[in-house]
Chains A and B, each alone.
Chain A
Amino acid sequence: MIAVLVTATQILIAGMAAARWLDPTITPRRLLGTAWLLGSGICAFILLALSLMGIVWTPMSFTLAFCVTVIALWVRCPANPTTALRAGCQPPTANRRSIAALAIDLCTLLLIVGHGAYALMVRGAEWDFWAIWGLKARVFLAHGGIDWSFLENPHHAYSHPDYPLLLPLNYVQVVLQQGEWSDRFLGLMTTFFGAALLLILRDLFEEELRRPLAAALATFAVASMAFATVGMADAPMIAFGTAALLTIRRGSLPLGSVLLGLAAFTKNEGLALMVAAAVALWAHRRSAAFRLWPAAAIAAPWLIIRAVHALPTDVVSGNLVGRALRSFARIPELARVLADHPPREPLFWIAIAAALVVYARQLQRERFVLVAVVLQLTFYLGVYLVTPYDIEWHVASSWLRLLQHVAIPFAFVALAFTAKAAVSSDADVARSAA
């Protein structure tokens, strides 16, 4: 447990400086959540760099590299970020206290603690943890760096050697602190990623809705969706992807693009999200799309490394062209299989769909987020159509997890529409109805 807490502290120290540097106007809760996300990426890149330089991972080598990186970041970060806060970027409700909002926030905190308890119960039980994410961390630790021979071994294809390494490297960092491998507390990393996203969402909702109670309720509404299967990379993917889209939506492109890049360093689906976000931004404001270059710069090292080591990607293996040509014929089959695997939260999705229909005239305002997540879903469906696996198996083993990647951006838009309509004055309602 102490090792996880030491790692969390390291991650937050590194991330705080980066978050303040990338967005000097960042508010306290968003700063804490963003610091976790950025810090986990920074620490993973430190371990990747050490391994590429041939330096064996030890607590000492990591700590030295960590200190150098953190000092460099703190030197670059603005000396007095509160100046920017005073300049008018503070949420309008920052000084308003609401007992009811505090009570709802405590309920959200209870869910986070509950997830932590669940994560401790699960330990390393999930198949994808011990066959992919945890396995890589354990193998790399024993090797003292990234074990390329393990990744290149065709018998280890199931561990998906091409998957980006952020999460396994975060696990490596924890185990470096604790001295020997134990998966007992690693699940807490899933909890921390979910909690980080909720901190960010809480401030974004307050900025959007301008009412603490509505913001607290909206955060609670999506709290369960911020957590995914313990030990797997879906929770970090949800956190990075959602935070990136919503940060770009509010105009913070430097920070948003870095978060997008870290999503791409977490899962291959993050790469798809990067493309989806770029297209959505291009459609929204062409010149802004080029300002997403940090995302590409962060994603590039792993893409180059995996190309150099020829690490295979299963879904594009074999006769991809042949499968792509047959893909249209597979659409009815995919539709049938998807119908057999409806979401586990039908009311949640029906209500979101209904909100988007009811407030259809306002969708234009949210076109960046909506285009990005719809494109992301389209990419997922496209992969199912060209999959070399049995489509039934592929959908059954991933669809509900992938759907959760886009749940919170959809919910954010729907909750913003409904909350604003619910709390607006009668005059606003009359104007809206007219």
Chain B
Amino acid sequence: MRPRFLAALLFGAILIGGFKPLYLRALFGDARGDVNRPDRRTPDYPAFLQEVARHTRRGQSIAIVAPMRYWHSGYSYAYYRATYFLVGRRVIPIVDPDDSLHPERLKETDLIAVWNMPDIVGPEVLWRGHGGVLLRGTR
């Protein structure tokens, strides 16, 4: 093979191989299918947290109660998503990274945000919606 042809071939292969059509699709087509949706299995949860943020004040402590029992298989998502939306509040987890459950923390918080667990009841319901309920804590 002629050296110049081989060089051009390799140059062209790098050019074609490195090209990502995604960015042109975003401009001229539909790239929505390529966007990660972190809440695809829990579409109501961000809206619930936004409402909780609207119904609470900065500095208040809020415990997060969600149906995910284990840290790495779901509760960490619930807790971190809450930390993002409830910024300025003290978000309290009731499951630790070692999967230990800490219901006693519910007694130490100003508010309890319960999502997707209709069986949980509290002394005073402050707001209800998007699959969850905001309860006044017992502190």
Name A residues whose Cβ lies closer than 8 Å to a Cβ of B: 110-111, 113-115, 117-118, 121-122, 125-127, 130-131, 134-135, 138-139, 141-142, 154-159, 181, 217-218, 220-225, 227, 345-352, 354-355, 358, 407, 411, 414-415, 417-422, 424, 429, 432-433
Contact = CB atoms under 8 A, between A and B. Distances in A.
Interface string B1-43: 0111011101101111111101111110001101111100000
Interface residues of B, number: 41
A422 B17 contact: no
12 contacts: A114-B22, A114-B24, A114-B26, A118-B22, A141-B87, A142-B58, A155-B79, A158-B76, A223-B18, A227-B23, A351-B13, A421-B7
Contact of B80 (A118, A121, A135): A135
A127 B27 contact: no
Nearest to B93: A155
B87 A139 contact: yes
A421 B87 contact: no
Given A113-B27, A115-B23, 15 more contacts: A110-B27, A115-B26, A118-B22, A118-B26, A121-B26, A135-B80, A155-B96, A158-B76, A181-B87, A346-B17, A351-B10, A358-B7, A415-B11, A420-B7, A429-B4
A121 B3 contact: no
Nearest to A343: B17
A138 B17 contact: no
Contact of A221 (B11, B23, B96): B11
B35 A121 contact: yes
B36 A127 contact: yes
A130 B84 contact: yes
Contacts of A349: 17
A141 B87 CA distance: 9
Interface of A is mostly: helix
A58 to B, nearest CB: 16
Interface of B is mostly: helix
Contact of A348 (B17, B23, B96): B17
B103 interface: no
B67 interface: no
B26 A117 contact: yes
A138 B87 contact: yes
B24 A350 contact: no
B18 A142 contact: no
Nearest to A126: B36
Contact of B84 (A121, A131, A346, A419): A131
Contacts of A352: 14
B80 A418 contact: no
A241 to B, nearest CB: 17
Interface string B31-59: 11011111000000000000000000010
B81 interface: yes
B97 interface: yes
Contact of B27 (A117, A125, A134, A223): A117
A351 B14 contact: yes
Contacts of B6: 358, 421
Interface of B: 2-4, 6-8, 10-11, 13-20, 22-27, 31-32, 34-38, 58, 76, 79-81, 83-84, 87-88, 93, 96-97
Greatest chain A CB density within 10 A among B18, B31, B96 is at: B18
A131 B7 CA distance: 45
A223 B76 CA distance: 36
Nearest to A134: B84
B3 A348 contact: no
Contacts of B58: 142
A411 B14 contact: yes
Contact of A156 (B4, B17, B83, B96): B83
Nearest to A220: B15
A418 B23 contact: no
Contacts of A227: 20, 23
Contact of A121 (B8, B15, B32): B32
A115 B87 CA distance: 29
A242 to B, nearest CB: 14
A101 to B, nearest CB: 14
A345 B22 CA distance: 13
B84 to A, nearest CB: 5
Contacts of A122: 35-36
A127 B38 contact: yes
A414 B24 CA distance: 25
B4 A421 contact: yes
Contacts of A125: 35-38
A217 B31 CA distance: 25
A138 B11 contact: no
A208 B53 CA distance: 55
A282 to B, nearest CB: 30
A420 B34 CA distance: 37
A414 B97 CA distance: 46
Contacts of A418: 7-8, 10-11, 14
Contact of B14 (A113, A121, A221): A221
Contacts of A155: 79, 93, 96-97
A354 B7 CA distance: 10
